[in-house]
Structure 1
Amino acid sequence: MSTSTAPAQTETFLDRCKEAAAALSALMEPTPLQRNAFLSERYGADIILKREDLTPVRSYKLRGAANFFRKALTADPTLKNFVCASAGNHAQGFAYVANHYGVTGTVFMPTTTPKQKIYKTQTFGGDNITVRLIGDTFDQSYAAAKKFSAEQGATFVPPFDHPDIIEGQASVGLEILAAMAEKPDVLILPVGGGGLAAGVVQVFAAMSPDTEIVFVEPAGAPSFQKSLISGHLVTLDGVDTFVDGAAVGRMGEHTFAVLKDRHPAQVVLVPEDRVCETILEMLNIEGIVLEPAGALEIDALRSLPPERIRGRKIVCVTSGGNFDFERLPEVKERALRSAGLKKYYILRMPQRPGALRDLLDLLGPDDDITRFEYLKKSARNFGSILIGIESNAQSNFQTLTARLDSAGFIYRDITDDEVVAGVLI
């Protein structure tokens, strides 16, 4: 009598994600899923925040790093030297996990990385971690880390473009669905390199396929949307690095392979200045500290049509809270300019007694001069000044420019002129 053996079932992506999530419990608890009353009232919906800014390293990056290290050390327990490149958050997750496993590592970060992220990386890694600041962008640091890996024989831990990283980040999706009695109507995810998005969308495809997915990128680094439009991976000529946690010039091969069938209209581009409004709002009203990449998902709500929001259950993954408060003056400045509450002008001032008084008399009661600088004498009878004005309503600037026109002043609004404002302000 012959016996037959049932064929072994192939392990699915979801199975591997669950294994990663189970192992992750040794390093961290699931992050909170919190309904935000302030945002819910504003948008007439249930706005729920998945607080990845509350992991031990204040971002979701710990998840992917933990899964990569676990699988690499299981395959070869003799590995001792690891290396990574990061704009900050992956570095902290890398350092935290390397310290947990007792191995050494080298972290390559751009010279533009906020000091807070550098300090925390060193703190989490202790004596096991060496930080090297190389290049002005993530892509330059990445190239340096890959070269180091080849020369030193160190195991490279990718920030996003690896199946093990994607599986680890996917645990965010498992936690969201495990914590909700009803499936969300909309899920808003940030996209930089694409590791988080590639992992979570696969979880939702298997467990909540009717949930609408919205992706968010910074307007100054739209590598995902550009790639979708082109139908293949593209490398951007340059990126705005302000949203440092999501500003990459080229997303990953593995991540794009998962996401390439999405429609470009599913991607919302958030202006860098506008995200500053959201950072300040969440800090001042809710007491929630978010870095630019962590505020993208909330800010994206401003761009969605009301009918896609009202009455729906929407989850925003607040991906990181590693905010360097030395950047707060810049964030406030950019937020005011985005809201239309601060403007800069170059103005020709007649060189005669009383001319400055004439100008000041044109200002309204809520107009505050925040910058006044004589630039240079351009003619015998005129001089140029740079003047910055802050007010409490956009309409006040319409009134001011009408008065300037009526009084015959010659001026130029340079607020949105990146070249001129970048030099003078």
Structure 2
Amino acid sequence: MTQFALHAQAATRALRALFDPTPLQRNDFLSARYEADIWLKREDLTPVRSYKLRGAFNAMRKVRDASPDQGHFVCASAGNHAQGVAFACRHFGVKGTIFMPVTTPQQKIDKTMTFGGDAIEIKLTGDYFDQTLAASKNFCAEVNAHFLSPFDDADVVEGQASVGVEILDQLGTPPDLVILPVGGGGLSAGVTAYLRATTPQTDFRFVEPLGGASMKAAVEAGDLVTLSHVNSFVDGAAVARLGGLPFSHLTWVDSDQILLAPEDRICTTMLEMLNVEGIVLEPAGALSIDVLPELADQIRGKTVVCVTSGGNFDFERLPEVKERAQRFAGLKKYFILRMPQRPGALKEFLSMLGPDDDIARFEYLKKSARNFGSVLIGIETKRAANFAALLEQLNNAGFSYRDITEDALLSEFLI
């Protein structure tokens, strides 16, 4: 067994001072659908509802062991890492200063304060995370505190490896495949380093959001790549640049092992797990389940572990998630309709709608000409095929329209 694996086991034992192992649950619904033995490693059920507590605790523990006088820790985060650091600070009785962007939702600030209590102070600075990160590091140097990276830290990676230790202990036999979500790479680096050392027959797949595929870019380039643009919807995994230390652990990964999950499709997975299984997952927490359809032919008859990395979902986002899921499934579309300004034109249009079609949005934009007016209209239906029948009727009747459902620029301004 490697030295890393031994340290990961020690980190796992130390974690028992905070919480019991998170459940490894066989999911009958997914197992039946894919004719496989599918297990969910429920990291959404830690005390802070994500695996981030593991790395923060282990790093803090080891720093304290090496330097008992170090009683001040600093991090920059607007999400799960902040909550993990806050929880660990309260546990160790040390001071924590947590930097968050000024745009951080109050709900996340309040949760972090709940976990940290009097042990932490939150500083809101910077409109963008890069500004927040720079301010936190400058402050850390000024007060001689210890900076806790969310993933680019050897002790953090070692702490995240405890997920792999628990999987093997709980399953009792090596899984055929482990599916891991990827953001900065700390979880993937830790879990794979442990399992490759203890169960070399286990295979892996890695999942990134389509709009934040920094690991795939790095693996294909053979070096770290900074993405020029990141879609922030999957906020727990939308990282512009993979961590350097995690990447050094993952140089063996082939590009074909990395799968990309479209943000709108992730929404369908989140809703299905909520409605069918009663499991609340944040977007990043749903990544490992979201790619199962792509792997259906490869996993049949095999034992598969999906790591559900977090459940910090703000239900105020639920309407957005439903909207994106409907659009991905082809059940909701938006049009700009050029409506003739004559008696009966609206009634004629409404008569074209089928029994399963419903108007979700109707907004008269402006009178663009004496004889025509523009209408923004959103339509929901129960079957995607219903739109073909509607559009055929519009064309036959000579109505002019434009489908803007996938037009990102117009959707941003109008929808």
> Into which bin does the TM-score normalised by the smaller protein fall?
over 0.9
Q: Secondary structure at the match of 2:338?
A: strand
1:129 aligns to what?
120
Q: How many residues align?
A: 415
Matching residue within 41, 45, 70 for 1:50:
41
- Distance in 1 between the 2:142 and 2:341 partners? 65
TM-aligned CA deviation for residue 114 of structure 1: 4.4
Summarize deviations over 1:152-195 as a string: whole Å, max 9, x none.
Answer: 32210110001000000000000000111321111000110000
SS of 1:30's partner is: coil
Shift in Å at residue 113 of structure 1?
Answer: 4.0
Q: Residues 115-150 of structure 1: CA distance to partner in whole angstroms, max 9, x if unpaired?
A: 433221110101221223334554443222222212
Residue 153 of structure 2 is aligned to residue 142 of structure 1:
no
User: Structure 1 residue 103 and structure 2 residue 88: aligned?
Assistant: no
Matching residue within 387, 407, 412 for 1:422: 412
| SS of corresponding position for 1:377 | strand
Amino acid at match of 1:191: V
Distance 1:323 1:65, change over 3 A: same
Tell me whether 1:268 sits opposite 2:259 in the alignment.
yes
Letter in 1 for 2:44: D
> Aligned with 1:303: secondary structure?
helix
Counterpart position of 1:232: 223
Contact kept, 8 Å, 1:49 with 1:315, in 2: the verdict is: yes
**Aligned partner of 1:167 among 158, 165, 172:** 158
- 2:377 corresponds in structure 1 to 387
* Cα deviations by residue, 1:268-290 (Å, 9 ceiling, x for unpaired): 11011111111111111111111
Instruction: Specify the alignment match of 2:308 in structure 1.
Output: 318
Residue 28 of structure 2 aligns with an amino acid whose one-letter code is: A
CA distance in 1, matches of 2:103, 2:347: 43
Change (3 A) 1:41 1:135: farther
SS class of match (2:117): helix
State whether residues 61 and 90 of structure 1, in contact with CA within 8 Å, keep that contact through their aligned partners in structure 2.
yes
Checking the alignment, whether the CA contact within 8 Å between 1:116 and 1:323 is kept in structure 2 is no
Query: What's 1:73 paired with?
Result: 64
Mapping of 1:20-419 within 5 angstroms?
20-304=11-295, 306-419=296-409
Q: Provide the rounded CA distance (Å) in 2 between the counterparts of 1:300 and 1:112.
A: 31
Measured in 1, the distance between the counterparts of 2:128 and 2:5 equals: 34
Q: Indicate the percent of aligned positions where both proteins have the same amino acid.
A: 62
Residue 138 to residue 266, structure 1, CA distance change in 2 (3 Å) = farther
- CA-to-aligned-CA distance 1:42-78 (integer Å, 9 cap, x gap): 1111110000000011000010011101011111111
* CA deviation map 1:199-245 (0-9, x unaligned): 00011111111111000001111100011111100101121111111
- Unaligned runs of at least 5 residues, structure 2: none
| More deviation, 145-154/346-355 | 145-154
SS at match of 2:152: coil
CA contact 2:336–2:402 (8 Å) conserved in 1: yes
Measure the CA separation in 1 of the matches of 2:102 and 2:255: 32
Which residue identity does 2:404 align to in structure 1?
A: I
The aligned counterpart of 1:6 is none
CA gap of 1:165–1:112, structure 2 versus 1, over 3 A, is same
Give the aligned residue type for 1:63: R
Task: Say whether the 8 Å CA contact 1:137–1:241 is kept in structure 2.
Answer: no
| Separation in structure 1 between the aligned mates of residue 102 and residue 234 of structure 2, nearest angstrom | 15
Note closer, same or farther for the CA distance 1:238–1:143 as it changes in structure 2 (3 Å cut).
farther
Indicate the RMSD between aligned Cα atoms, in angstroms: 1.4
Matches of 1:135 and 1:260, distance apart in 2: 34
Report the Cα offset of residue 259 of structure 1: 0.7
Give the 3 Å change call, closer, same or farther, for CA 204–298 of structure 1 in structure 2: same
Q: Retained in 1: the 8 A contact 2:2–2:197?
A: no
TM-score w.r.t. the length of structure 1 is: 0.95
Secondary structure (helix, strand or coil) at the match of 1:58 reads: coil
